[in-house]
Structure 1
């Protein structure tokens, strides 16, 4: 029985890493897209495309409507992860590099953990709070250093995106106790269609023929992969490899952002950026391991995928992705 278990774990780690690669491309792709597409239009089109694909999948698989009691949480999640987060991120990367955003977004798991702690009324260990505030302080120090002693408008928008994502992913985690993670994100996007359809129609660029190919490819990437498909690989990986083990793969995400930003955005990755990112990753790792065990209704982000492996409970809280 050992070889199949080992094989399943390896596959879980591979799928988790694929999810990290997908989510790591979000900032670079958004940076490319907003070079020619307005942030409001980008947000509307991104949510519309992913929502239509989600609707088709749910209809083909004949998935029933979620229970009425879950709809308020679905709406909160929709507002945060399908509207506010992509919009705030799009506005932010208009004025700061994708690699800069990669450092700021490094504390997203901490933001989600803090929201989860408030929702579940947990009492984490003191080291959790120390690591969480240290991570936030590092990000602010980085932004101040990069901005010449003051926070830029782009930093403020990115920090706001971190806050709303923390709220959205925490509620999403609670929902995935009731249904698979891929189904949660799909219903969230379908619920957004009554807003994304008219918004996309109103904000569609007047002359789309003048928009280069690269921004369109950036839009398709964030719509299909960042907003939707990435969750499939990530959730499946967590289910196969165990939450504690696979969630640690996400610590690589800032460095994935750096690599992709250097290749696709021609950004220069300085030693200072890498050092700050390493410091943020360290605080995330400490806060994750010191939060304590989950309460009975605790949250797993981005999908509730607990398995029979006790190790899947060790971290107490799976790191969120990115969506993201």
Structure 2
């Protein structure tokens, strides 16, 4: 009989799909962002994602989520799918890519803190150590990407920090909703709420789509179908089976994957600092997701045999 895959392995595989697709999004955003403004790009991406997720919902006949899941879906939809995507697109136009990467990577740290405060999650030493190592790696990658011509405005820094806060708040709000609804339901309706919140940018989207090159529009659709519809669903599936803090720490693999993808797909040869930072990111993720070994029972002392024999005589 074929062996069944354990839920833990499925959750780990789902998290892996998420980080790979989110890493690929940086390449697509670079292309689409040249032709679309921040709000229009977010709306186009969310509309594409909502259409795909809505079709899958109809095929699977999952229907509406239970009432208890709606508060978390509403908050995560507004913060993560709405605010986060718009302000991150905007912030990346005001600061260089390295600075944006460093600032947004404050998000997993905030997730761990908010998860401990509102979800009662335990911040174990391995999680904290792994996140510290990964954050140091993300800083190294960011510094190596900034270069001498890097730029940063106060507005851009504020927008990237706001994106990190919105991301963290959305994840922590999403976690309780997954106790009442499926990963597909939480993702689909969260995406739809985010798209509705971005509807004020509809005029910009129509105007820019009429003159945007086909490659930019194709990248926007790709962002909606894969890094949004698929990756957010696999994220929710994994989040339902672990803590928000550990899932947030997993996303520190994204900077390392971005470095590798830029090397393979764009021919951007990474420097020594970039490679070292990427290695630190992956090492930190491995530490944060590791589990302490079960302690072995204490070995019998030299007097154990004599005590056992004495016990036998007293019986």
Whether these two folds match at TM > 0.5 is: yes
Q: 275-284 or 177-186, which moves further after superposition?
A: 275-284
SS at match of 2:43: helix
SS at match of 1:48: helix
Q: Which residue pairs with 1:35 in the alignment?
A: 34
How far 1:155 sits from its partner (Å)? Answer: 5.2
Q: Which residue pairs with 1:276 in the alignment?
A: 277
Structure 1 residue runs without a partner (length 5+) = 293-324
How far 1:284 sits from its partner (Å)? Answer: 4.3
Alpha-carbon separation, structure 1, partners of 2:44 and 2:133: 37
Deviations 1:32-62 (A, max 9, x none): 1111110111111112222233333334433
Deviations 1:58-91 (A, max 9, x none): 3443333223333222111011211111112212
Q: 161-170 or 220-229, which moves further after superposition?
A: 161-170
How far 1:252 sits from its partner (Å)? Answer: 4.1
SS at match of 2:3: helix
Change (3 A) 1:160 1:284: farther
The counterpart of 1:183, out of the listed 182, 185, 203, is 185
Aligned length: 286
Q: Which residue pairs with 1:256 in the alignment?
A: 257
Alpha-carbon separation, structure 1, partners of 2:90 and 2:42: 10
Change (3 A) 1:259 1:269: same
How far 1:219 sits from its partner (Å)? Answer: 0.6
Answer yes or no: is 1:199 the counterpart of 2:200: yes
Change (3 A) 1:284 1:112: farther
Q: 175-184 or 266-275, which moves further after superposition?
A: 266-275
Q: Which residue pairs with 2:296 in the alignment?
A: none
Alpha-carbon separation, structure 2, partners of 1:95 and 1:270: 24
TM-score, structure 2 normalization: 0.72
Q: Which residue pairs with 1:317 in the alignment?
A: none
Contact 1:78 / 1:188 at 8 angstroms: preserved in 2? yes
Alpha-carbon separation, structure 2, partners of 1:9 and 1:259: 27
Alpha-carbon separation, structure 1, partners of 2:165 and 2:126: 21
TM-score, structure 1 normalization: 0.70
Contact 1:99 / 1:267 at 8 angstroms: preserved in 2? no
Alpha-carbon separation, structure 2, partners of 1:155 and 1:266: 28
Q: Which residue pairs with 2:162 in the alignment?
A: 160
Change (3 A) 1:279 1:259: closer
How far 1:225 sits from its partner (Å)? Answer: 1.0
Contact 2:41 / 2:220 at 8 angstroms: preserved in 1? yes
Contact 2:137 / 2:279 at 8 angstroms: preserved in 1? no
Alpha-carbon separation, structure 1, partners of 2:261 and 2:159: 22
